Structure 1
Amino acid sequence: MPARQERVRAGNRKQCPAPDVPHGGERQAMLESDGNSQQPALQRRRVEETLQQPKWTLESPVRDILLEGSLAVKLKLNDFLRGKFCGMGVVESNESVLMEEFAAHPTRFIDDTKLLDTIKTSESYNLARCVMEWRKGAEMITMRDVAYLHGKGVSTLKQWWEFEDEGMGGTESRQKLDRVLHEVRMRTILLKTQVLEGLYESVYNARWSHVMEAADVEAGMGLKVKEGKPPQSWEYKEEGGTLEIHNEKKRLHPPRLRLMVLSSERQWPYSWSRVEGITDCYVTAEVERVWKVVEGDLKGLFGTDGPKIFKTWRHLLIGTSGIGKSMAAGSYLLYQLLHYDAAKFHVVVYCFGRELAYVFDKTAQTVSEYKAEDDIMIVVKDLAQRGMRGYVICDAAMQGAPSPAHFPPSKSWGMILVSSPDRNQFEVWKQAMHPRQIIMNCPDAIDVKAMYVWERRDQPVQEQAECWKMVEQHMCNVGPIPLCIFSEAEYVERFNATEDAVKSMSASDAERYSVIGTGKLWHFEGASHQLLRLDRKRGDTGCEAFLNVPICEKLWLQIFDKLATIMGEKDVLLLVWRLKESCLPEARENYIVPAFTLWGFVGAIQYKLKELTPPEWRPRRPCALRVWPSDHPKKSVLLLRKEYNPAKVDIKYGVLYEPEDESFPLLDAFFFLKPPQNTMVGLQVKTSKRKHITASIVRRLSEYLAEYFNVRKTFALDLLWEIIYVHYPESVPINRWQRCDLVQHPHGDEGKAEEIIAAFWKRQVHQYNVAISPEDLHVVCGG
């Protein structure tokens, strides 16, 4: 950017007659247009006035610009006498005499002493003398500035634009040159401005649809697509100066809203400059929440009590890459701001980095396209200088945030910066603006399913169901990232990237992944953005904080195994415990399981394993992890859901198997001890698994194992079982042996099979509990 750009300012225009945005030559924009559209009269008149024959250009000499209005205009003596003294003293020989000459030698031009005294004592003459003296001084200063600039090699306006020397200070010469430069630049920008015909109307009049989760089982995928805006959207409540969805438990029971869709026939700004055409904006409860927070700040709904730790008209939206911050949240904010009170915002500026911006004029109902950072900065500042108020949406994904010195251009303007957690994209802007931080969570599985059903709404239900299995598998492998899971090509690219990211992790990466379980921002030198996601949590008053957590369970197991090889057990366990302590209760249970692959952890808890005495006497048996702790599993493997038809595998000893399917009976993970132990050790970590145990549940578990491994159907019943119930200080422990009941007595072979299972449970199943606490971590860490 030329250094002079930092000093250019618009003229001192106080107020424009109407908030019209400057536009230049028209073009046939993006989609088909007949090219006959007429610009609004006010807008067209301003363009025509601006594009008249220019007085100055970039090649104009700075001397001519600075001396304009001084040497060019001189008052003559005879004109002064005619105007102020009715022509007394006018003689033909003085017709070309200037007032400066007369003031220097008055008796040379008028010999009438009485008239001369009258002139000298008149107010008009003395005023003229003051003006002449001021002008002479100003001209001397101007000529000094001209000489200074010439000495620095600045003779044209273009050279002034590129001039970096600050030696002239805040002089009138500088202000005049800056003003003329601004006018010339604006004229140049107008000549190349792109006016996108019909796109304002397309966005403003976007069509509503929505997807409801159905209560009836005959709804195919369990979701119904409906036209129009839903009769009721999500409800939000204020918590600590921000908003959270209200009555979340009610959302668990259909019918309920899952997705709103806004369709713009001529696409959205996000895709106007891209190859792919995106017409649908997906509005989830998370996207709607972003707008509600922004709207609440604009309306002052969060009150004024407490410390002013952020500026309520400045916002920073952060979320995991690929979840829809730019396309969904950005587009929805634009739609809502175009419908917002026109008296508060005359324009909405949508920037993509520093090099592309669309200016939406709410009065003229037009969209203008501006390219290049300098042009965008000049246009936006010109709007603010002309008294217009606006709101800036800036997508920092590609090029980072613009300079805080120019965006927003005025205190009366609002702005939201949309970014990934990469602090390099926004740190400077954030420190200067002190914005409210808004954290956008990843969509959950049912939100993704609603998007999928909308996209496949014209397909038969059976086809939808088959393809949905593929999308679910994509989510299992790379996380709930809409950008990467609907397209096979995008998924393969993302999958390979995550695999490479895990494989390439080295000891030098360990510090980068120390952000796991914390609210630290990222640096994109590493591969964090492919393996981690952000989960929102409540921070200080009025603030939203977040945690960095693994993006999905599969990648968490891979990350854990890799970090266990490049970090010390102490550091890995610190990371595990940090996740457990920081996350929501339902998420905590997912992160502790891999710790059973660490010798230090097993050694710390082996003597805390307590056997639960069965109601019928039999010999006690110490837990295998206590007797043979070295046989603990050394790595974790995720078992895919059965509907993905995973190939059967041979049982491997020393492997902790963790089923992905939430419906897997009884256990959250298990491993096998080789002969002569012939034991299966199962872990029950999640409280959701704590159900009344029946023979049918145990039979299902045995059948599941036969479907995953190359074993016979009754293989599990030939083993000794050990079940370890894991609990934490805040959870209720299982202290009594859990029996296996026959709920019903089926007749025939099925009844006999369940009786055999019930007898097996009493004879071959041993149960233990273990309490895991921070003290176990201190033991491992030497604390």
Structure 2
Amino acid sequence: MARRKRLVRKNEDGGAGDPPLVRPRVESVPGPRWTLGSRVKDVLLDGARPPNEVSLSQCLKRVGCDGGVPNGDFKMDVVIQEPEFYIPEEHTRRRILSLPECRTYALVYKVVPLLEEKGIAGLKQWGDADNAAVKNELRDELADDGLWNKTRGLLDNAFNAVNDTEERERRREEERIESGIKKVTFVEGLYDSVVNATWACVKSGAAGEPLGMKIYQGHVSKKVIGPEMLWKEKEVNFFNTPDDEVDEQRDRKDGIEIFVLTSRMGWPYMVYRGAEQASKTPPKEFYCGVFVRREVVRVWYIVKNSLDVMHGEAADESTHRFTLIGSPGIGKSFSVGAFLLYMLLRYDANRLHIVAWFIDGLVYVFLKNEQPGKVLEFCDQMAAEAYIRLQVANGSQVYVIYDVGRSQIGPESNWCRNWPGILISSPNDGNCKGWFKSDGAGAVYINCHHVREIKAIHVWRERLLHPNSTLSEVENTWIDLSVRIDVVGPMIRYVLFRKNYSLRENEIGSVMWGLNDDMMELYEKVIDNKKTWRESKSSHKIVKLVRVHYEGCDEDFRNKGVSPKVYNGLMKMVMLRKKGTEERRQILEHVLSNYGRDSAHLFETSTIYTFLRKELLEKVAHNLVKLREPRNRELPECDSVICRRDSAALYPKELAFIREGEKRELKCGVLYVPCDSCFPVLDAFFVVEGEARTVVALQATRAEQHHTTVSKVLQLKKDLAERFCEWNIFTDELRWEMIYVQPAGGNVIKTKQLCGGAGVARKAVSTFWNKVQQYQVSLEPESYIGVEPAVHVGALMNIFGEAEIEKNIKKDEQKS
């Protein structure tokens, strides 16, 4: 017999259009998913709608009272407290209070306050084993076995359901982890490859070798190269004070610029897998060698001292966890992580049994207490953690290298807090937050590479990749790299690889042009050291981290422009934002006090403006030296246009900032300064009138050399053509001079700077560059000698040419 359809009266469940008073049938919707945090009030409602959402009129309709009532709009959470007042008619009141949902409301109204008074607000408190006495008191106060039985039944059922669910989830998680442990891969040969990695070093001061550097493989002066030859702790544990420059050349008595540590199978950062990587460029041998510099060795000494303290060998106070923070792209994972792994595997095996490297979802577990040593690769991080936790419970000592890597996801708060280790990260709070919350986590900051270290890496790489390269080829390639350093900074990820460099150069340009007022205000605070800039999507492209030490404090860091080009651009933009003399004076005062009187950044930013002052241009003309050909020992006679004519009539009397998208007429007597931080080849220029017009290009630098490339010269011509009207009409008639302006007492450029690179335009560009007359001048402003910073500021304000800048700002305001 067919089943009859159930007829629903119009007023059932609140009537047409009204929501039902109880939740739908169990067959249609699963029950609520309780947790230990669920409130007892919600559990006791047993699926009914909360009383504050149900009106009295809806309940009246449920019992067939369709007529209007005076109190029908009141909600049931109010009505249930005094039903006699809101429902005077006894028969109606009894029918309403008999509704299942209203009996539930009465239960909630009476029981929940008693539970909360006794500290039971949620399921967790209800299920605590030590509250039996509280439950007995509650039963007595209710004085109603029916209410008590229903209350206990609902809460016990919910609590048991939570326990059952958590138990099932725990078992599933254990099965998943157990399955992950069973799927672990044994990486055959990797332990031996790492622990027996071979050593080489690159030493400077070798005459006749490429860039004066020579590679020593396996031994130096009949001593085997290895950890015994590393620099001592006092040699690497230096700090930059606020007046120091990170790139200052420090004494290298041994001549060793870098060590190279090579594992034939690679490192956990990039394990060689045979045929799958055999076709990669550079070849796998490049990734098998890691570069060990002084900054890397310093990190090891910090970790080693911590381990010694933990095992009672040293008495000093030390933390058991560290966070290594440095600029992206400097080899924190590739160099620091690999070198720490090597040294930890060689640390006392009686004190350290397991070294685990977490990186990008993979975990490599090195077992030192196995004979021979083994390496397990886990694709499931939780399975690896469970395995290590079991080993630690059995008495093993572990050290963790947690590499945030490309995922940019750090560990959760209080992650495995009893395991000592080091987190490798960029300056991003999100990566380090969970790790820092652990007790005793300390910060270790790492500087970028020194230019000489990058030069040594270049020499080693050239011999590896191009073993037949000639001395001149190695040196010409270095010219390209030095130009890259000047633009993107000492970041080997972008300096060593052309594709990475091109992408980063474009990114820097986009960031600089995209800076709004809010961002510029922040960078201005970074420049005057009022604010520490941490990494964002754009900041790490234009600033770099520098480790410093302030008296009475642990090591700290501050930020600088990632390269002279970028810093100069930021300074120009900051100065242009300053509308008054006093504001510019203040920013210069901050820069001087925070970066030191001899700051390379400040010198390279401000010194070109000396050419706006007649008396200083006369000094330039008097001290100018013409650069000789590299193989010519004789000093040529200086024949610059500013030496041959009256310099008083030549000096630029007006300042003009040139921007992309603006086209203007080229005039004599104007000092043109590009606003673009990545403008190639020159920092500024002016034109001198004569039989043949002369372009005097200016390049301020503290470096020992400042070569350029074919592509940079081509870009220079293109940029000038886009910014000046009819530039190409008379360029053939122009005579070019390049003056390298340097601070007295520092490095001195002595020979003509070269133009390296290849391409179809090389011949034409080389012809042009060979015609450019090159000069050098060392400047030592009198205002820098034996006087206070306030006087330096005054001198610099004069150098910047207050009247000219004011005039230029007013012109720009009128244009806009």
Could you say which residue in structure 2 is the equivalent of 1:322?
A: 329
Could you say which residue in structure 1 is the equivalent of 2:366?
A: 360
Match status 1:196 vs 2:183: no
Paired residue type of 1:440: I
Residue 427 of structure 1: how far off its partner (Å): 3.1
Contact 1:312/1:435 (<8 A) preserved:
yes
Aligned partners of 1:395 and 1:447: how far apart in 2? 24
Paired residue type of 2:334: M
Could you say which residue in structure 2 is the equivalent of 1:209?
A: 200
Written as runs of structure 1 = structure 2, the 5 A alignment for 1:497-536 is 497-513=507-523, 514-516=525-527, 518=529, 521-536=532-547
Match status 1:492 vs 2:502: yes
Contact 2:528/2:590 (<8 A) preserved:
yes
Paired residue type of 1:492: S
Aligned partners of 2:508 and 2:436: how far apart in 1? 30
Give the one of 394, 401, 421 matched to 1:386: 394
SS in 2 for 1:510: helix
SS in 2 for 1:416: strand
Q: Deviations over 1:421-445 (max 9, x none)?
A: 1222213422444433222111111
Aligned partners of 1:498 and 1:492: how far apart in 2? 10
Aligned partners of 1:772 and 1:439: how far apart in 2? 32
Residue 345 of structure 1: how far off its partner (Å): 1.6
Residue 338 of structure 1: how far off its partner (Å): 0.9
Aligned partners of 2:200 and 2:236: how far apart in 1? 30
Could you say which residue in structure 1 is the equivalent of 2:594?
A: 582
Could you say which residue in structure 2 is the equivalent of 1:444?
A: 450
Residue 528 of structure 1: how far off its partner (Å): 1.4
Structure 1 gap ranges (5+): 7-133, 163-177, 615-619, 666-677, 734-769
SS in 2 for 1:518: coil
Written as runs of structure 1 = structure 2, the 5 A alignment for 1:66-145 is none
Aligned partners of 2:162 and 2:550: how far apart in 1? 57
Could you say which residue in structure 2 is the equivalent of 1:669?
A: none
Could you say which residue in structure 1 is the equivalent of 2:295?
A: 286
Written as runs of structure 1 = structure 2, the 5 A alignment for 1:601-612 is none
Residue 153 of structure 1: how far off its partner (Å): 8.1
Taking a change above 3 Å as real, the CA distance of residues 264 and 249 of structure 1, as seen in their structure-2 partners, is: same
Paired residue type of 1:403: E
Written as runs of structure 1 = structure 2, the 5 A alignment for 1:160-171 is 160=167
Q: Deviations over 1:129-178 (max 9, x none)?
A: xxxxx9xx9xx99xx9999675368488665465xxxxxxxxxxxxxxx6
Count residues in correspondence: 550
Taking a change above 3 Å as real, the CA distance of residues 221 and 420 of structure 1, as seen in their structure-2 partners, is: same
Residue 318 of structure 1: how far off its partner (Å): 1.1
Residue 303 of structure 1: how far off its partner (Å): 7.4
TM-score, normalised via structure 1 length: 0.57
Taking a change above 3 Å as real, the CA distance of residues 690 and 150 of structure 1, as seen in their structure-2 partners, is: closer
Taking a change above 3 Å as real, the CA distance of residues 329 and 713 of structure 1, as seen in their structure-2 partners, is: closer
Taking a change above 3 Å as real, the CA distance of residues 273 and 416 of structure 1, as seen in their structure-2 partners, is: farther
Taking a change above 3 Å as real, the CA distance of residues 261 and 777 of structure 1, as seen in their structure-2 partners, is: same
Could you say which residue in structure 1 is the equivalent of 2:215?
A: 225
SS in 1 for 2:436: helix
Taking a change above 3 Å as real, the CA distance of residues 320 and 577 of structure 1, as seen in their structure-2 partners, is: farther
Match status 1:427 vs 2:433: yes
Match status 1:235 vs 2:247: no
Aligned partners of 1:405 and 1:414: how far apart in 2? 12
Aligned partners of 1:689 and 1:524: how far apart in 2? 33
Could you say which residue in structure 1 is the equivalent of 2:792?
A: 772
Could you say which residue in structure 2 is the equivalent of 1:335?
A: 342
Taking a change above 3 Å as real, the CA distance of residues 241 and 286 of structure 1, as seen in their structure-2 partners, is: closer
Aligned partners of 1:4 and 1:392: how far apart in 2? 34
Taking a change above 3 Å as real, the CA distance of residues 690 and 358 of structure 1, as seen in their structure-2 partners, is: closer
SS in 2 for 1:772: helix
Aligned partners of 1:294 and 1:221: how far apart in 2? 35
TM-score, normalised via structure 2 length: 0.55
Contact 1:263/1:280 (<8 A) preserved:
yes
SS in 2 for 1:312: coil
Contact 1:345/1:390 (<8 A) preserved:
yes
Residue 317 of structure 1: how far off its partner (Å): 1.0
Could you say which residue in structure 1 is the equivalent of 2:673?
A: 635
Taking a change above 3 Å as real, the CA distance of residues 573 and 771 of structure 1, as seen in their structure-2 partners, is: closer
Aligned partners of 1:713 and 1:656: how far apart in 2? 10
Give the one of 524, 528, 544 matched to 2:555: 544
Paired residue type of 1:194: T
Paired residue type of 1:443: H
Contact 1:649/1:709 (<8 A) preserved:
no
Match status 1:345 vs 2:386: no
Residue 635 of structure 1: how far off its partner (Å): 2.4
Could you say which residue in structure 2 is the equivalent of 1:726?
A: 781
Structure 2 gap ranges (5+): 1-32, 38-128, 137-150, 219-224, 623-645, 657-668, 689-693, 707-734, 754-764, 806-816
Most deviating of 387-396 and 519-528: 519-528
- Percentage of matched positions with identical amino acids: 21
Cα RMSD of the aligned pairs, angstroms, is 5.6
Q: Deviations over 1:675-726 (max 9, x none)?
A: xxx9x999966232699xxxx99x989xxxx99999988899xxxx999742
Match status 1:403 vs 2:419: no
Residue 214 of structure 1: how far off its partner (Å): 3.5
Residue 558 of structure 1: how far off its partner (Å): 2.6
Aligned partners of 1:249 and 1:241: how far apart in 2? 12
Aligned partners of 1:262 and 1:468: how far apart in 2? 23
Aligned partners of 1:298 and 1:4: how far apart in 2? 42
Aligned partners of 2:797 and 2:684: how far apart in 1? 37
Paired residue type of 2:781: V
Contact 1:477/1:552 (<8 A) preserved:
yes
Could you say which residue in structure 2 is the equivalent of 1:749?
A: none
Could you say which residue in structure 2 is the equivalent of 1:688?
A: 745
Aligned partners of 1:312 and 1:271: how far apart in 2? 29
Residue 327 of structure 1: how far off its partner (Å): 0.8
Residue 330 of structure 1: how far off its partner (Å): 0.6
Could you say which residue in structure 1 is the equivalent of 2:470?
A: 461
Aligned partners of 1:595 and 1:181: how far apart in 2? 66
SS in 1 for 2:260: strand
Could you say which residue in structure 1 is the equivalent of 2:9?
A: none
Q: Deviations over 1:97-127 (max 9, x none)?
A: xxxxxxxxxxxxxxxxxxxxxxxxxxxxxxx
Aligned partners of 1:700 and 1:282: how far apart in 2? 32
